[in-house]
Amino acid sequence: MKNPQRSPTNPGSLRSRFTHVFLQSLLRIRKHNPTSSSSSPHREFLKRCSQVKVAAYVSMARAVGTRRAWSRATIWRARNGERRRNLLCRRCSKSNSRERSLGKKKKKKKKKKKRDNEEHGFAHEKKLQKLVPGGEAMDFCCLLDETAHYIKCLITQVKVMRSIADFYSL
């Protein structure tokens, strides 16, 4: 089942694509964040950590493209995450109704699905849906498919990141 494209020597492989995008994003992060900050370095460090983490996931999603639901969901989340957060904050301060309605709609959908799933004893499915980005909107069959691909990409991601970290930390 090994995809020939996964071989490291293949320039168009997922690994090479991910490495490329990830390194670019790391550089971008480095540029945007001053290496030394007067304010709490700890906080800075944490912020940078989260940035790198998000960059890693988004880079992988970009490398995968929009073929996969989870990659699409990841990219969408990254794009709209800030927007959603801002909206939530604003709405929270102003009127909770809209935000709640939106949240409720989503929650209702999720709850309904959860209820349905629970009725059928799909606790695992729900858990998996939470883990895999964009998994909430999928039936079990597609979810397994996405999970498999997601695991493959996660493994590649971990390998590349580790090699980069090792490379740079040595």
| H, E, C per residue of 102-129 | HHHHHHHHHHHHHHHHHHCCCHHHHHHH
Task: Tell me the Ramachandran region of residue 121: left when phi exceeds 0, alpha when psi lies from -120 to 50, beta otherwise.
Answer: left
> Considering the complex, what minimum distance in angstroms separates the CB of residue 114 from other proteins?
11
> Considering the complex, what minimum distance in angstroms separates the CB of residue 55 from other proteins?
8
Q: Which is nearer to other proteins, 55 or 69 (CB)?
A: 55
> Considering the complex, what minimum distance in angstroms separates the CB of residue 132 from other proteins?
7
CA separation for the pair 102, 88 (Å, rounded):
10
Q: Which is nearer to other proteins, 60 or 99 (CB)?
A: 60
Q: Which is nearer to other proteins, 92 or 158 (CB)?
A: 158
Q: Which is nearer to other proteins, 17 or 99 (CB)?
A: 17
> Considering the complex, what minimum distance in angstroms separates the CB of residue 102 from other proteins?
21
CA separation for the pair 70, 146 (Å, rounded):
7
Distances (CA, A) of 130 to 112, 115, 121, 133, 138: 15, 15, 16, 7, 11
Tokens of 36: 């030394």
Q: What does DSSP assign to residue 65?
A: -
